[in-house]
Structure formats: C-alpha cells, structure tokens
Structure 1
Amino acid sequence: MKINCRQASRLISQGLDQPLNQWQYVRLRVHLWMCGNCRQFSHQLQLLQQAARKAGRGE
C-alpha cells in the first residue's frame, strides 16, 4: 500500500521520536525513494534534530 506525502511526513516525524515498525519503515523508505520533496524534508528534520541536540549540550 502506497502512502502519500502527508502520511510520509508523519512517519518521518514519528521516526525521530521512536522507532518505526517494520511495515512503516518499508512503506516510508519506498516513498522516500520516489519522492524528492519528502527526502529533502526528512533531511531537514534530521539536521534540526542534530542542531537541537548540540544546543542542548552547549556546543
């Protein structure tokens, strides 16, 4: 079952907070493989998460 960009963005955000189950992970990976916009969104959220962690450590 394919997912749309809205569903993918929810899974991307959820995956930052907790591990996705295997089915969610596979569906998201397939979507990201096909969708450059969601790949970019995922990358941007990862960068924000890294920056927030560094800021929290005082780096």
Structure 2
Amino acid sequence: MMKTCREATRLMSESQERDLHISEQAGLKLHLAMCTPCRNFSKQLKTLRRITQSYAQGGPEKVDK
C-alpha cells in the first residue's frame, strides 16, 4: 500500500534523526516517485538541513555595514 503524504513527510523528517528501515525507504521512494508536492518538501528539507548545519558551524562570513 502506498504511503500517504502525511506518512511520507513524517518519514522524511524522521530520516534526519535515524536510519530508515529498508521497507520504510522503499515505501518512501515509491511515494516520492509519484508525488510532486512531497518531492518539493524533500528538497526543502534538504536545503533547510544544509543551511542549519552551515549556521551551526559558524555560518557564512558576516559583512559589517
């Protein structure tokens, strides 16, 4: 059975904190192959993670005005 968008977004969020089980990964990949809004959410989540990691590591150079 295909995951709902709610289940897919939950798994995407959880994947930031833990490794997904192989069955969870497969179900998520199937859902993402068919669901444009969830693919967009996945891209946004990856961008947000990259930005927060950069910030946590000191972020970009600050420019004084």
User: TM tier, shorter chain?
Assistant: over 0.9
**Partners of 2:43 and 2:18 in 1: CA distance:** 17
> Where does structure 1 lack aligned partners over 5 or more consecutive residues?
none
% same residue: 36
Q: Distance in 2 between matches of 1:36 and 1:20?
A: 21
Name the residue aligned to 2:63.
none
Mapped to 1, the partners of 2:15 and 2:36 lie a distance apart of 18
Amino acid at match of 2:19: P
User: Under a length normalisation based on structure 1, what TM-score does the superposition of the two structures give?
Assistant: 0.96
Matched, 1:15 2:8: no
TM-score normalised to structure 2 length: 0.87
Query: CA offset at residue 30 of structure 1?
Result: 0.2
Number of matched pairs: 59
Q: 1:16 Cα shift?
A: 1.2
Offset of residue 35 of structure 1 = 0.2
Q: Distance in 2 between matches of 1:19 and 1:47?
A: 19
Find the structure with the greater CA-based Rg: 2
Structure number with the higher helix fraction is 1
Q: Which amino acid aligns with 1:39?
A: R
